[in-house]
């Protein structure tokens, strides 16, 4: 009973704040609503018994991603009116696509059934859910059965890092940068010129 109530609370706030992210006039408010949506989604995960993903959602999405969004929004000075241009123009077709898609997904899920073998297939992959906590269950498979995927994910992140550096890092010709090696390699003969000045004549 209480669980159902909590579920509906989380679910309703989550969807409502999702709508507000799109409709809020101030982009900063949008980001704040996004954080609220993340928190409630985290709550839903806890209800589903996936406490590890819930914590991950809060730490990664609220702690890092949403804060990054906030920085971007504040530094880029986005004007909402510009972003909202064409919103009403594309609304009808957007709604049409949404409705068609929603009907299709509903149609697909209402008539849903799992293959009888599915339960056995799921159990083969992970340790029993009631025997261990989420975190240790994940830990047991992520470095063993899923080591290949773990390494591949590491490579994807490496590419992301290289990409960010390649596309944004550049040497500015106009900025004066200190290069210690250059300074040390400089000889006195290159830097100082000795002039013999005759008395009373000036340079």
Which residues of this chain interact with other proteins, rule CB under 8 A?
Answer: 104-105, 107-109, 111-122, 124-125, 143-149, 151-153, 155-156, 158-160, 162-163, 165-167, 171, 179
- The nearest distance, CB 107 to other proteins, in angstroms, is 6
* DSSP state for residue 190 in the 8-state scheme: H
Q: Is 200 left (phi over 0), alpha (psi -120 to 50) or beta?
A: left
Compute the chain's Rg from CA coordinates. Answer: 29
- Answer yes or no: are the C-beta atoms of 66 and 40 closer than 8 Å: no
- The nearest distance, CB 176 to other proteins, in angstroms, is 13
The residue among 3 and 117 lying less far from other proteins, judged by its C-beta, is: 117
Helix/strand number for the chain, H first, E second:
11, 0
The residue among 92 and 154 lying less far from other proteins, judged by its C-beta, is: 154
The residue among 6 and 137 lying less far from other proteins, judged by its C-beta, is: 137
- Answer yes or no: are the C-beta atoms of 14 and 37 closer than 8 Å: yes
- The nearest distance, CB 120 to other proteins, in angstroms, is 7
The residue among 7 and 146 lying less far from other proteins, judged by its C-beta, is: 146
- The nearest distance, CB 161 to other proteins, in angstroms, is 10
């Amino acid at each position: 009973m209480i669980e159902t109530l909590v579920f509906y609370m989380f679910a309703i706030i989550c969807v409502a704040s999702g709508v507000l992210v799109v409709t809020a006039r101030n982009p900063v408010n949008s980001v704040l609503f996004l954080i609220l949506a993340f928190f409630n989604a985290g709550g839903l995960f806890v209800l589903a018994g996936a406490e590890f993903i819930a914590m991950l959602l809060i730490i990664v999405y609220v702690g890092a991603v949403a804060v990054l969004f906030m920085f971007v929004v504040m530094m880029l000075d986005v004007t909402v009116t510009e972003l909202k241009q064409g919103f009403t123009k594309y609304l009808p077709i957007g709604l049409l696509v949404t409705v068609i898609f929603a009907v299709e997904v509903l149609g697909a899920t209402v008539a849903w059934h799992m293959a009888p073998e599915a339960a056995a297939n799921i159990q083969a992959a992970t340790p029993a859910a009631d025997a261990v906590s989420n975190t240790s269950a994940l830990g047991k498979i992520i470095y063993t059965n899923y080591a290949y995927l773990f390494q591949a994910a590491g490579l994807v992140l490496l590419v992301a890092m290289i990409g960010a550096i390649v596309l944004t890092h550049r040497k500015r010709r106009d900025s004066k940068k200190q290069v210690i090696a250059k300074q040390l390699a400089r000889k006195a003969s290159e830097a100082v010129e000795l002039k013999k000045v005759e008395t009373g004549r000036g340079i």
